[in-house]
């Protein structure tokens, strides 16, 4: 999850630009996942500045991120600098794990999913949301052409061209969630698409 640090230098502007790029829908998209998670103690994996905190409440939130610059702006009660591939928690600690816009930055999806499985209690749920390419060849090509232009320009507006050029390339890093998250220790319960052309994906998984 070391690539998550790529946005450390723009921590104070990150959430604002994400809201603009999502046409103000980023919190609504997060809520479609959070609303399906159990109550109790939740691990916010790749928590950043804590954009989801109000949606996760009244759960007890443990915020994890590899970038201390991001966590310094997060008002969660428990904040831990760590990576998803090596979570510093005991087995069966959490009722739920939530992760938004992080999986493209992971060094290893498989190692992170194994860690999520380990720290979840039996019956616990993991909810993941991230950006990718739309389904279908034409939509993928159209979306790729658009982000190649829009994201670097958006990044330039806050002095972060390099970071948002990286974001454009990261959208092609992984296969669709139905492929990427299937066959692991967690049962893939559901996946769904959000946003224009379905370029945002969400997934719900359960530990038996």
Around 193, how many Cα atoms within 13 Å sit in the side-chain half-sphere? 11
Strand 78-81 vs strand 187-194: parallel, antiparallel, or unpaired? Answer: unpaired
User: In the structure, what pLDDT confidence band is assigned to residue 4 with cuts at 50, 70 and 90?
Assistant: very low
Q: What is the pLDDT of residue 24?
A: 66
**155: preceding bond cis by omega (within 30 degrees):** no
Is the pLDDT assigned to residue 9 strictly greater than 60? no
Q: For residues 161 and 163, what is the distance between their CA atoms, to the nearest angstrom?
A: 6
Task: Please compute the mean of the pLDDT values over residues 6-32 and round it to a whole number.
Answer: 69
Write b or e for each residue in 76-96: b if 16 or more Cβ atoms lie within 10 A of its Cβ, otherwise e. beebeeebbbebeeeeebbbb
Is the pLDDT assigned to residue 100 strictly greater than 50? yes
Q: What is the pLDDT of residue 15?
A: 63
Q: What is the pLDDT of residue 11?
A: 57
Q: What is the pLDDT of residue 16?
A: 62
Among 174, 69, 185, smallest CA distance to 126 is for 185
Q: To which residue do tokens 């999806």 refer?
A: 109
Is the pLDDT assigned to residue 112 strictly greater than 80? yes
Domain-wise residue ranges, the chain? 2-8+22-133+173-206
User: In the structure, what pLDDT confidence band is assigned to residue 52 with cuts at 50, 70 and 90?
Assistant: very high
Task: Please compute the mean of the pLDDT values over residues 89-107 and round it to a whole number.
Answer: 93
Among 176, 175, 174, 167, smallest CA distance to 146 is for 167
Q: What is the pLDDT of residue 14?
A: 61
Q: For residues 199 and 208, what is the distance between their CA atoms, to the nearest angstrom?
A: 30
Pick the CATH number of 2-8+22-133+173-206 from 3.10.20.30, 3.30.70.100, 3.40.50.261, 3.40.50.150: 3.40.50.150
Least confident of 87-91, 120-124, 127-131, 174-178: 174-178
Q: What is the pTM of this model?
A: 0.80
How many other CB atoms are there within 10 angstroms of residue 166's CB atom?
A: 18
Q: What is the pLDDT of residue 2?
A: 45
User: In the structure, what pLDDT confidence band is assigned to residue 114 with cuts at 50, 70 and 90?
Assistant: very high
Task: Please compute the mean of the pLDDT values over residues 46-58 and round it to a whole number.
Answer: 95
| 3-state SS track over 116-154 | HHHHEEEEEEEEEEEECCCCCHHHHHHHHHHHHHHHHHH
């Amino acid at each position: 999850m070391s690539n998550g640090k790529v946005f450390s230098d723009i921590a104070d502007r990150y959430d604002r630009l994400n809201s603009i790029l999502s046409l103000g829908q980023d919190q609504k998209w997060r809520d479609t996942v959070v609303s399906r998670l159990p109550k109790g103690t939740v691990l916010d994996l790749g928590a950043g500045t804590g954009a989801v905190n109000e949606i996760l409440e009244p759960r007890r939130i443990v915020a994890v991120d590899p970038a201390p610059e991001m966590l310094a702006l997060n008002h969660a009660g428990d904040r831990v600098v760590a990576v998803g591939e090596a979570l510093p928690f005991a087995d069966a600690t959490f009722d739920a794990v939530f992760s938004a816009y992080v999986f493209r930055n992971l060094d290893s999806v498989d190692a992170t999913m194994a860690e999520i499985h380990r720290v979840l209690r039996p019956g616990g749920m993991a909810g993941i949301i991230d950006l990718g390419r739309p389904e279908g060849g034409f939509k993928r090509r159209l979306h790729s052409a658009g982000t190649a232009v829009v994201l670097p320009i958006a990044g330039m507006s806050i002095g972060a061209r390099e970071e948002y050029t990286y974001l454009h390339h990261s959208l092609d890093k992984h296969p669709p969630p139905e492929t990427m998250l299937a066959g692991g220790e967690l049962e893939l319960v559901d996946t769904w698409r959000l946003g224009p052309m379905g370029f945002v994906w969400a997934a719900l998984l359960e530990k038996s």
